[in-house]
Chain A
Amino acid sequence: METLLVALLNGLIYGLLLFMISSGLTLIFGMMGILNFAHASFYMLGAYLAFTAIHMFGFWGGVVFGTLGVALIGFVCERYLLRHVRRFGHVQELLLTFGLFFAFEEVVKLFYGPYAVAYSVPESLRFTAFHIGEVSYPFFRVLIGLTAIVMFAAIFCLLRFTRIGLVVRAAVLNPTMVQALGYNVSVIFSAMFAVGAGLAGLAGAMGGAYYTTNPNMATELGVIVFVVVVVGGLGSLGGALIASLLIGVLVSAIVYVDVTFGQILSAVGLVSDEVARSTLDVPLSSAAGVLPFLLMLLVLMFRPQGIAGDERA
């Protein structure tokens, strides 16, 4: 029972971290139609910027610096790069962000070297939040989860209940009309992109400290973030939240399942017991990394628009 509870909690919090990163991606896509391949790079840049600033401003200063710094980088990317290719269509935008992904990775290697850097949770935040049986649950994990929840609530309220949100949603539906009413749509789009990037930066500043900060972190998470967004439904914030939690809990839970692929296949009578014990003696838990992709495959087959996506996707 305790193990189950811890597994569930671990899965939920990992899911919330995934949501922190993917929310920006799905926002940018939903609002502007840009499928941003460099989004996971913003996560990496957030971690590195926070790591750089931590010596000057302390941990929280570093987190703020990482968030704002990445938002600024996002703004510059939109204003000076993406805007130029927008009139050629979304494919060109996608290719540009694809290039940015590699450029960011090499720039990071150039300045910080190819190895991981010493960015970790400060001593003052390394304490136990609560105990479940003999498991001491670290406070920082809880903090990551809370940050993600607050973030979700803030974005949701901003878009749903404020005048800014109203204008943004209108600009998405009918940019020409909003422009005619006297709003600067270009600035709205730049700001949206900056906010989306900043959210990834915040996730990087927090996640980089708890996990590791190395030049491969964008590659490691880049694909899974796309899986979250596809499963949740491109452009849907709520969908991204559901998909993140689903993937987090599934990946966490499967590790505890002590069955091999051979046992499953022989139970349904597809292979003999002999084959199940030899060639197919692969534990299900070793598939934890590919499970999200399997889920994506199923979603694309049976519900191509994603859990909460609209017809547009």
Chain B
Amino acid sequence: MKSLRLAISAAVSTLALGIGTVAAEPVKIAFLTPKTGPLAFIGAMYDPTINFVQQPFNEAAGETGNKIDITVYDDSGTTQGAADRFKQAIADGARVFVGAGTSPLAAQNLADIQRWNQRNAEDPAMLLIVGAEGSNFIGADCSFYSFHFTTTPFIRQNALAKVMKEDGSLGEKVYSLQPDYTMGREMEAATTHNAETYGYKVAGTTRHDVFKIKDFSPFIEKARSEAPNTIFTASSGSDLQLILQAASSSGLKARFAGMFLDEPGNLAAAGEAALHNYDAQIFNAEAGGEAGEKYRAAFNAAAGRDPVAFMNNSVLTLNMLGAAVAALPKADKVAVNDLVKSLETVKVDWPLGTLSMRADDHQVQLPLVISMVSKDAKDKIDGTDMGFKPVKVLSAEETSVPVSAECKMKRP
């Protein structure tokens, strides 16, 4: 009898051991993004990117590698929602967070992560910021546990000015028309800062309320009185559409240079008014040659549309995260500290060049493509007859700006 009980317990424990080795826990990733409310279009943009990366990654991992498990949490576009979903995801066991929202949402995510890490130093969490362009995330707020997977207005303005200077479209008089919040203020500062480097004069600067102005013609008339050649703007969404339409219908001759023209719906809504304006893009299939076309076609087959704007940031974030997970030996539970260090050293191939993460401030080093809205572009967007014709690809080295002096990263 006693021997029987012993035999059973031995059998049970070997079984348990066996299960332990077969079913290692996948790396749980919480993807925080607005899926409802006025910012729901942001979540809709990221939606198709998740399975596009997750499925092939897990298939490739097979039996020998670590797998990932991405769950989407709807923060409804509010900081309160972001804080609530953070707690929920922590309770669900996630320690890797992707913050795919606006700058205020990412700031909330970062604050939540830091609070959690202070209280649970032995079980830390990490944040991957996808779409928030604020330069504070790699400046005063830079952290060992947070990574910045997009550019800053400074990086984009610098890239735009560099290429437009080369192809002669920049001109000598530049105007800055910005949305009145962090990003617009940073774009304005960049425009002023780079004046000497690229030999232009800032003819004037104006800021407008975000998503409150319906009629932009007064702003356009004010800009016209300075007769600029190029107008830099970090405006996005309906603000950008309204600005372009107001400029076009009043016959303003200046060119716009911005960073959000390739967001879904913008070309369709702006119509012909969008033609000949410049955009600093994360990805452009025509510029990426064969590899670019392959990625575009694969994404289109999976998602039913071409990858544009921040969709690419999400894909490259998840690709780099995947590569960092794959680089670690298979474990029952992947430690966050190991994952952070793995992400700092990983190199990933991207149709426009190589992606890497700068360890000093956790800013992704990525190539940008400067494009012009044109009817000659190979890939047409939003069902219009227009697309983005690449002017020049800047390598990761060329787009890179120095580490901010404000970043004082504490490593554990």
Contacts and interface: CB of A to CB of B under 8 A. Distances in A.
B44 to A, nearest CB: 5
A165 interface: no
Contact of A289 (B206, B208, B245, B266): B208
Interface residues of A, number: 50
A81 interface: no
A286 B383 contact: no
A251 B44 CA distance: 34
B131 interface: no
Interface stretch (B209-217, B254-262, B345-353): B209-217
B218 A114 contact: no
A45 B117 CA distance: 48
B250 A220 contact: no
A113 B214 contact: no
B142 interface: no
Contacts of B38: 216, 219
Interface stretch (A130-138, A175-183, A189-197): A130-138
Given A118-B271, A118-B383, A214-B269, A137 B218 contact: no
Nearest to B178: A286
A127 to B, nearest CB: 10
B44 A220 contact: no
A39 interface: no
Nearest to A15: B215
A116 B238 contact: yes
Nearest to B239: A212
B41 A118 contact: no
B268 A255 contact: no
Interface string A1-27: 001001100110010010000000000
B40 interface: yes
A115 B265 contact: yes
Contacts of B245: 120, 210-212
Contacts of B251: 128, 135-136
B207 A220 contact: no
Give the interface size class of chain B. 35 or more
A11 B218 CA distance: 8
A118 B242 CA distance: 13
Contacts of B25: none
Interface string B22-49: 0000000000000000101100100000
A178 B384 CA distance: 56
A256 interface: yes
A238 interface: no
B238 A252 contact: no
Nearest to B227: A134
B225 interface: yes
Interface in A247-265: 248, 251-253, 255-256
Given A211-B242, A256-B218, A286-B207, A109 B40 contact: yes
A116 B44 contact: no
A221 B212 CA distance: 8
Contacts of A114: 40-41, 44
A140 interface: yes
A212 B270 CA distance: 8
A33 interface: no
Nearest to A285: B206
Given A137-B250, A138-B249, A288 B268 contact: no
B84 interface: no
A27 to B, nearest CB: 22
B271 to A, nearest CB: 4
Nearest to B204: A258
Given A126-B249, A219-B38, A283-B206, A7 B218 contact: yes
B221 A7 contact: yes
Given A116-B268, A117-B269, A140 B249 contact: yes
B209 A135 contact: no
Contacts of A115: 41, 44, 264-265, 268
Given A120-B271, A212-B241, A255 B218 contact: yes
A246 to B, nearest CB: 15
Given A120-B271, A135-B251, A283-B206, A252 B41 contact: no
Q: Which 3 A-B pairs have the closest CB atoms?
A: A289-B209, A115-B265, A289-B212
30 contacts: A7-B218, A14-B217, A109-B40, A114-B40, A114-B44, A115-B264, A116-B238, A116-B265, A116-B266, A117-B265, A118-B383, A119-B269, A121-B249, A135-B251, A136-B250, A136-B251, A140-B249, A141-B217, A210-B245, A211-B242, A212-B242, A212-B245, A214-B238, A214-B265, A217-B238, A220-B211, A221-B214, A224-B214, A251-B218, A285-B208
Given A115-B264, A220-B211, 8 more contacts: A116-B266, A117-B268, A136-B250, A141-B249, A211-B242, A217-B238, A288-B218, A289-B212
Interface of A: 3, 6-7, 10-11, 14, 17, 109, 113-121, 126, 128, 134-138, 140-141, 210-214, 216-217, 219-221, 224, 248, 251-253, 255-256, 283, 285-290
